[in-house]
Structure 1
């Protein structure tokens, strides 16, 4: 394991702890509709979308 991979794993672990510690309900406006959902679900969704975009652009760069 390289130091870069260890750093990424530590950051992912910290992000998951942060996401699952925020369990309260929140209101999110998606352009027009107002959606009420658990905050952890919104954070996890944005994290997954960000990871997918990052993987896509890193793959395109090669």
Structure 2
């Protein structure tokens, strides 16, 4: 970099790298709300998996689908890069 374009060590306008960024706060809030929603739904429910029908707590089904969705998101973001 030339001296004209260098920031000279100032952090103005750069990434702060702080622990509490707005993105991290938003993700933490969504994660907490998701966990509250999952653990409020504890009744057993019947779920059909292609052919067999299984009975499991609703929170397990919600957590499982959430994990599958998160893994799919990570996979597609990884393929984009």
- TM class, shorter-chain normalised? over 0.9
Q: Which has the higher contact order (CA 8 A, sep 6+)?
A: 1
- Structure whose residues are more often helix by fraction: 1
Structure 1 counterpart of 2:76: 57
Normalising to structure 2: TM-score of the pair? 0.73
Higher Cα Rg, which structure = 2
Residue by residue over 1:1-60, the C-alpha shift from the partner in whole angstroms, topping out at 9 and shown as x without a partner, is 321121011001100110011000000011111110000000000011111110111111
Normalising to structure 1: TM-score of the pair? 0.93
Structure 1 counterpart of 2:8: none
Q: CA RMSD in A?
A: 0.8
Q: Alpha-carbon deviation of 1:61? A: 0.8
Alignment of 1:17-56 (within 5 A): 17-56=36-75
- The runs of 4+ residues in structure 1 deviating greater than 3 Å are none
Residue-pair matches, total: 62
